[in-house]
Amino acid sequence: MASTFEQMRANVGKLLRGIDRYNPENLTTLERYVETQARENAYDLEANLAVLKLYQFNPAYFQTTVTSQVLLKALTNLPHTDFTLCKCMIDQTHQEERPIRQILYLGNLLETCHFQSFWTSLEENRELIDGITGFEDSVRKYTQLKVWLNKFGWTENEDGQIFVYNQEESIKPKNIVEKIDFESVSSIMATSQ
């Protein structure tokens, strides 16, 4: 049985095509989609940004809860810069409201790698992440990876696989020797005839 998220995804995809993505009548569907992502630990950046944009165009429809969920989901996708993209589309006034302000603060802690402070802060505000399945796991994965990468010089590719190389080979001084291509030299040869 396909999850609700999967079922909604195709439908939402259609809504986001062309001029329909600016139709405020689609907000309810998109908001439910955000809620579904939170519940089922799924993620769709483009749809979430579309919600923020509709709020931008139609401030009367702005919802703090949905915006908070969008921001928290963005954090679970670190190190992608989704969180920054969201910030660019939420206006100042709303950024100062609770709990958005708290979430922005947590985001800042993660971006500046102050992981201890982050976990402490989260403990004090557990209700923030209510309903976001898998939030802590995703963040933990990001933070621990950062620490490991530092220690062992491993790198991660897009699929989350970790490549372990011989450290000496991967991180060592590179001497880049200059190559002059024929074209640049040919013009000189022509003029010196």
Partner 1 sequence: MFLSNLIGFTCSWTPEASLNKVLLFAGDPKADLAYERQYEQQTYHVIPEVIKNFLQYFHKTISDLIDQKVYELQSNRVSSESIEQKIYEIQDVYENSWNKLTDRFFKTSPWPEAEGIASLVGNDAVFLILYKELYYRHIYAKVSMHQLYDNMWLKPAPFPPQFQSFSQYRCKTAKKSEEEIEFLRNNPKIWNVHSVLNVLHSLVDKSNINRQLEVYTSGGDPESVAGEYGRHSLYKMLGYFSLVGLLRLHSLLGDYYQAIKVLENIELNKKSMYSRVPECQITTYYYVGFAYLMMRRYQDAIRVFANILLYIQRTRNMFQRSTYKYEMINKQNEQMHGLLAIALTMYPMRIDESIHTQLREKYGDKMLRMQKGDLQVFEELFSFACPKFLSPVVPNYDNVHPNYHKEPFQQQLKVFAEEVQQQAQLSTIRSFLKLYTTMPVAKLAGFLDMSEQEFRIQLLVFKHKMKNLVWTSGISALDGEFQSASEVDFYIDKDMIHIADTKVARRYGDFFIRQIHKFEEVSRFTKFKTAVEL
Q: Which residue among 1, 174, 182, 193 contacts partner 1 (CB under 8 A)? A: 174
In angstroms, rounded to a whole number, what is the distance separating the alpha carbons of residues 104 and 115?
Answer: 15
Q: Which residue among 6, 91, 96, 137 contacts partner 1 (CB under 8 A)? A: 91
The single residue listed with the structure tokens 């939170």 is 38
In angstroms, rounded to a whole number, what is the distance separating the alpha carbons of residues 23 and 81?
Answer: 27
Residue 173 CB, shortest distance to partner 1, in Å, is 5
Closer CB to partner 1, 28 or 149, in the complex: 149
Query: Nearest-CA neighbor of 90 among 127, 51, 118, 125?
Result: 51
Other beta carbons within 10 Å of 39: 15
Site for partner 1 (CB under 8 A): how many residues?
A: 54
As given in the structure block, the two tokens for residue 21 are: 């993505």
Q: Is 84 in the site for partner 1 (CB under 8 A)?
A: yes
Contact 51, 34 (CB under 8 A): yes
Q: Which residue among 2, 172, 182, 193 contacts partner 1 (CB under 8 A)? A: 172
Give the residues lining the site for partner 1 (CB under 8 A). 18-19, 22-25, 45-46, 49, 53, 56-57, 59, 79-81, 84-85, 87-89, 91-92, 108, 111-114, 146-147, 149-153, 155-158, 167, 171-178, 180, 184-185, 187-188, 191
